[in-house]
């Protein structure tokens, strides 16, 4: 009888542990998003695209006559996100979460 009681307690403990762990699987995964802004302008056959994100990264793409050059970098040492965002929006750009 004592053995049966110990086995029942052991099974109960295992059921509780696995039951609590299964709750974690029901929680949605957190997705890290950030705001990014981009703007595109065209002058004749030359196209410029700027994209910047609040983490301080930017991409600048220049296209002309089938040639495309892309530059990437970090603006966070020189400019604030508010300044860069405002500059892109003033250039008819748009922003959204990515």
Tens of pLDDT, residues 42-88: 999 999 999 999 999 999 999 999 999 999 999 999 999 999 999 99
Give this prediction's pTM. 0.66
Cα(6)–Cα(62) distance, integer angstroms:
73
Cα(94)–Cα(46) distance, integer angstroms:
20
Q: Is the dihedral of CA 87, 89, 91, 97 positive or negative?
A: positive
pLDDT at residue 67, rounded to an integer? 96
Q: Say yes or no to pLDDT of 3 above 80.
A: no
Instruction: Break the chain into its structural domains and give their ranges.
Output: 35-85
Q: Is residue 97 a contact partner of residue 33, using CB atoms and an 8 Å limit?
A: yes
Q: Is residue 64 a contact partner of residue 45, using CB atoms and an 8 Å limit?
A: yes
């Amino acid at each position: 009888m004592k053995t049966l009681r110990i086995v029942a307690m052991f099974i109960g403990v295992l059921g509780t542990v696995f039951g609590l762990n299964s709750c974690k699987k029901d929680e949605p995964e957190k997705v890290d998003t950030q705001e990014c802004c981009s703007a595109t302008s065209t002058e004749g056959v030359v196209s410029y695209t700027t994209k910047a994100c609040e983490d301080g990264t930017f991409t600048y793409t220049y296209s002309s006559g089938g040639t495309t050059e892309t530059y990437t970098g970090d603006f966070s040492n020189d400019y604030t996100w508010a300044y860069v965002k405002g500059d892109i929006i003033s250039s008819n750009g748009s922003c959204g979460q990515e």
